């Protein structure tokens, strides 16, 4: 069996997220429930009528409901945070990137460059094609040690990107349609659709990165 190197979010960190965020949400729910009563103690505060109405909600149901809703909101937030808990496994033959609900495996020989761009781990192939991009908050030092000689401090193609705008003459119609659809997804905040469309563009040889909801791209070598 190949020796395997694993870089992962510590279990205690993930447990802390699932514990702390629901607790914080419950606490915030209690504060919100008590807030109308505290505000009404301030002389000349506006909107006293609606505040009195909220303050008169029956107890203990109102407080229990507020705390429960806060805890549920905290659980939802914890789930969103945990979705970005990346585990990187490197063997002699492949690189496996795992997050809750998704796993991507890339042949080790297909990874020519690995680097971190903001809060994302990016893997590039020998021609500069993007073979994987996953959210990552793993320590750079641990990733660099695991990937070894293919690790780069930054994108080696940093100077090759340009901004996408409609009707660029050197962008084929199929890619242009994907760029346009992806821009709509970015404008709407649809991260899942934007991710899927990025992967479609990657298959066409386009490497895309975002800056303030603006797409910048380059083409892989030989495309």
Give the mean pLDDT of 5-18. Answer: 78
pLDDT at 46 over 50: no
pLDDT at 44: 56
Task: Give the residue, 74 or 133, on which the prediction is more confident.
Answer: 133
* Cα–Cα distance, 29 to 118 (Å, whole number): 33
Bridge partners of 214, per DSSP, are 211
Q: Which of 145, 144, 203, 138 is nearest to 174 (CA)?
A: 203
Cβ atoms within 10 A of the Cβ of 73, count?
17
Q: Which of 67, 33, 65 is nearest to 51 (CA)?
A: 33
> What's the Cα-to-Cα distance from 209 to each of 60, 187, 194, 197, 214, rounded to whole Å?
50, 15, 11, 12, 8
- pTM summary value: 0.70
Domain-wise residue ranges, the chain: 10-82, 91-155, 157-223
Give the mean pLDDT of 21-40. Answer: 68
């Amino acid at each position: 069996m190949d020796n395997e190197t694993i870089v992962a979010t510590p279990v205690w960190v993930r447990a802390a997220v699932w514990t702390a965020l629901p607790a914080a949400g419950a606490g915030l729910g209690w504060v919100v429930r008590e807030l109308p009563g505290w505000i009404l103690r301030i002389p000349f505060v506006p909107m006293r009528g609606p505040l009195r109405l909220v303050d008169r909600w029956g107890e203990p149901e109102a407080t229990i409901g507020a705390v429960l809703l806060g805890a549920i909101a905290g659980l939802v937030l914890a789930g969103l945070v945990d979705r970005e808990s990346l585990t990187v496994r490197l063997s002699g033959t492949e690189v496996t990137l795992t997050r809750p609900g998704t796993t991507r495996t890339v042949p080790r020989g297909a990874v020519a460059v690995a680097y971190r761009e903001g809060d994302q781990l990016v893997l590039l192939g020998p021609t500069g094609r993007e073979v994987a991009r996953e959210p990552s908050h793993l320590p750079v030092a641990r990733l660099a040690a695991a990937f070894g000689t293919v690790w780069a401090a930054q994108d080696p193609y940093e100077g090759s990107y340009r901004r996408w705008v409609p009707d660029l003459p050197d962008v084929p119609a199929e890619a242009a349609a994907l760029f346009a659809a992806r821009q709509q997804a970015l404008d709407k905040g649809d991260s899942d659709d934007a991710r899927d469309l990025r992967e479609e563009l990657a298959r066409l040889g386009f490497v895309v990165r975002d800056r303030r909801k603006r797409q910048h791209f380059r083409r892989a070598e030989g495309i």
